[in-house]
Each structure stands twice: as C-alpha cells, then as structure tokens.
Homo-oligomer: A and B are copies of this chain.
Amino acid sequence: MSERDKSAPPVRIAMLGAGTVGSSVAKLLARHQHDLAHRVGAGFELVAVGVKDINKPRVGIAQSLLTQDLESVALSGADILIEVMGGIEPARSLILSAMEAGASVVTANKALMAEDGAALYAAAERFDVDLYFEAAVAGAIPLIRPLRESLAGDRVTKVMGIVNGTTNFMLTKMDEEGANYAEVFDQANALGYLESDPSLDVDGIDAAAKAAILAELAFHTRVTLADVYCEGIGNVTKADIAAARDMGFVIKLLAIAELVGTQEKEDGIVVRVHPAMIPLHHPLANVRGSFNAVFVQAEAAGEMMFYGRGAGGDPTASAVLGDVVAAARHRVLGGRGPGESTYLGLEVLDIGRAHTRYYVNLDVQDRPGVLAQIAHAFASHGVSIQVVRQEGQGSEAGLIVRTHSGSEAALKATVDQLESMDEVRKVVGVMRVEGED
C-alpha cells in the first residue's frame, strides 16, 4: 500500500443490530483499526447503530451512536450497512432502502437470504452496490466467497454439508455417549444452544435455509426455503446410531444440493435436508460437536471441504468483517464485488428425483424364503442390494439391508411395499446413506 493515499476519508459504517454478533463486530472493528486501515487504504468510522432497545447496556459501542430509529440508520449515508438484526422484516426493507441510498450491504441474515436472496442480488445490481453475506451460512467458514469466486470457472455438481451446529452437537453426543434424543435435547437446551423456537434446529429448518442459499449460489438458480425437502433429527434413535456404528457409519444431519441428470445435460437440481449415514472415512464424519463443514464437488476441482465454527459472536463477526473489508476496498479503489444472478434457471425437482442409498432395518418373520421374498421386493423396483445382514432368530429375527444407489422414488416405493408384506412384521428404521462412491 506504499503509494496509496493514506489520507483517504474514512469508510463510514452503519450497523443494524447490536446483539452477540453486532457487539463482536464493533469490538473487532476497534481492535483491528490499524490493520484494517492498511488492508483497505482508509480508516473506518462507525456512524450509527440501530437497536430495538436503546436502554439496554452495550459493551464497546458509544451510547451516542445508538438509535431506535432503524430507518435513520439505513439512510445515514454510510458507505456500508452491516445488518445483523435478523428476521425478514424490517431487515429487508431497511437493506433495500440503504442500497437505494448507495450503501453496500453486509448481512448475516440467513432467513432473509433464503427467502429473498434473488431480489437482493437484483437490487445490489440495480443500485451498483455490493452485497456480501459470508456470515449467513456456516458462520466463520469462508464458504460463500469460495463458491461465488474461487469456483467461478468451474461447474459445481454437489454441495453437502453439516450446517447446523446444534443438531451436530446433539448427534455427536448420542454417538459418543450413547445418549438418547430426549437427553441430548435437554443438554442442548441447558447449554443455550437451541434457538428460542427449537424446531428451527431440530426439524432442520435452519439447515434448509442455508441449503437454499448454497444451492442458489452453486447452481445459479432461484431456490427458496419452500423448495427444500426437509426432515429433522427427531426420529433418530439410539438404535439407529448403534446400527450405523456397527456398519462403520455415523449419522449426521446433512444439507444437500445437487445436479440431477446426465453429465452432459442436467435435468435440474434437488435440495434436501435430512439425517443420513455417512461412512466413518468420509471427511464429514469427523466433524464433531458444534462444528460445521461443507463438502463441495466440482467438475474440475474435484472434492473439497470447508470446516470451522458455524456460529458464535466472534466467529460470525470475523466473517462479517472480511466482507466489510471487501466492500470498503471497493469504496476506496472503485469496482464492485461479484454479482449473482439466477441465469441458469434450472428446475428444482422433487425429492423423488434425488439419487441416494437406503439403509433399511426390518423386523421379519423367521421362516424359510423370507430373504428371497424381500430381495424380490427390492429387485422389482430396480433397487440393487449392496449388503444384507440377518440378525437374531424367531421373534427377534431382524434383517438389515443397505442398497446401492437408486432414485429416491424407487427406494421409497420399495419401503412402501415392504411395509405391506406379511413377511415383514415391522419396518424398524429407514435412513438414507450418503458419501459412498
């Protein structure tokens, strides 16, 4: 930066929200002032912070900057608006107002990006400002930037990630300690890991929002939360986890977005969130506790994984600040960050079109010919069996089947038929298997 004008006027920052993340952002902005000035070529000035309750004490933010008039923050004339208040409205309107007033926007708002990302991309384009949202998915992990920029010359074929730390914490506890779902739910609750509406975590809704954002970026196709097939972890039992471990697998809540079709021509994409078994040697299998990781497959680059902290004030603030630096550099040096568009416009297909493998745990009659009947049921739907294991005898007779890859529709139809068969006393468990070639 030797020849850059160090006396450039400071970049003016306004912020909406001053909770855990906002406070960390303010702290890091202050702590790294000197470094940031070097990296940007100008200093930073925090000019306004919009909060719901001006009387709540805030650490590290001058009282004089606080206001409850959020609209005035959006229209403060700042170069960059940081939005860490969350929720759809008024966040969306405020962001759009700020963009129209010429501010670049850095947001950590996954709900908003999942619902209306495409509209925000279009607004950023129209008003010629930056829109960055690294913190909206997988917290501190640089993931959005690699997807938008590093892989811009490649063709992404699949994104598969552990993007909800709370459920990963719960599943890890069940796996490591043999705890059951109710116990780990209580632990997560006691530790304050659960959202105030726990359904957002355990029913997979938070993960589905992130899946929509990742799918939209990876496939340049409009994807919203409503497009994402979603199953939570509420039905995962101790027995499922033990069975997985016996076979050399571990159960994770996965967010998956992938191309479906031939290599030459895709038919569309499927975006889904559900628990799945993955082999212990898979890079995602070792992602424990509240960590997040996202596995990306691209045609030329091959397999990649990005791992790190998915939540927390400081990690999220680190991602926000990385975006702020990028947007600030454009203010000082000109230019604009990557735009996004949904130009590919692929069809978002039904979960039935996904290709996966099934694990099926059956309670069966113990009599000759049962295995043949069951094998026939799989074959009649074109589903090929990879492994069968018989367990127990008599009234305890069990059969565990792992299939080769097939369409979700065929696998589902097979299970429906199994449920109707006399030979099958009960379908004890069904789970998708991912991460095997």
Q: Which A residues lie at the B interface, using CB under 8 A? A: 1-4, 24, 28-29, 32, 35-36, 38-39, 122, 125-126, 134, 140-142, 145-146, 149-155, 220, 281, 283, 286, 293, 298-309, 312, 314-315, 317-322, 324-326, 329-330, 333-336, 338-339, 341, 343-344
Among B29, B145, B341, contact of A1 (Cβ-Cβ < 8 Å): B341
Q: Which residues of B contact A339 (CB under 8 A)?
A: 1
Contacts of A336 in B (CB 8 A): 333-335
State whether B319 touches A150 (Cβ < 8 A).
Answer: yes
Task: Name the one of B140, B301, B335 contacting A308, with C-beta atoms under 8 angstroms.
Answer: B301
How many Å from the CB of A55 to the closest CB on chain B?
28
Q: Which of A122, A298, A300 has the most CB of B within 10 A?
A: A300
Q: For A1, what are the chain B residues with a Cβ–Cβ distance below 8 Å?
A: 125, 339, 341, 343
Known: A314-B300, A333-B335, A343-B1. A322 touches B152 (CB 8 A): yes
The distance in angstroms between the C-alpha atoms of A304 and B314, with both chains bound, is 14
**In the complex, what distance in Å separates the CA atom of A220 from the CA atom of B38?**
10
Q: How many copies does the complex hold?
A: 2
Docked pose: A330 CA to B3 CA in angstroms: 20
Q: Evaluate contact between A146 and B149: CB separation under 8 angstroms.
A: no
Which of A35, A281, A318, A333 counts the most chain B CB atoms within 10 A? A318
Given A126-B3, A301-B308, A152–B283 Cβ distance below 8 Å? no
Cα–Cα distance between A408 and B303 once the two chains are bound (Å): 36
CA distance A29 to B154 in the complex (A): 9
Residue A36 contacts which of B134, B153, B330, B335 (CB distance < 8 angstroms)? B153
Minimum C-beta distance from A161 to chain B (A): 13
> Which residue of B is nearest A286, CB measured?
B286
Known: A4-B125, A38-B220, A153-B317. 18 other contacts (CB 8 A): A1-B125, A1-B341, A2-B341, A3-B125, A28-B300, A140-B301, A142-B146, A145-B145, A149-B325, A151-B322, A152-B322, A286-B286, A300-B317, A300-B321, A301-B308, A301-B318, A305-B306, A334-B335
Q: Say whether B150 contacts A322, CB under 8 Å.
A: yes
- Contact indicator B142/A142 (Cβ below 8 Å): yes
Contact across chains for A303 and B298 when beta carbons are under 8 A apart: no
Question: In the complex the two chains form, is A308's CB within 8 Å of B302's CB?
Answer: yes
Q: Which residue of B lies closest to A343 (CB)?
A: B38
A27: shortest Cβ distance to chain B, in Å?
A: 9
Q: Are A153's CB and B32's CB within 8 A?
A: yes
Nearest-CB distance from A335 to chain B (Å)? 1
B residues in contact with A325, CB < 8 Å: 149, 152-153
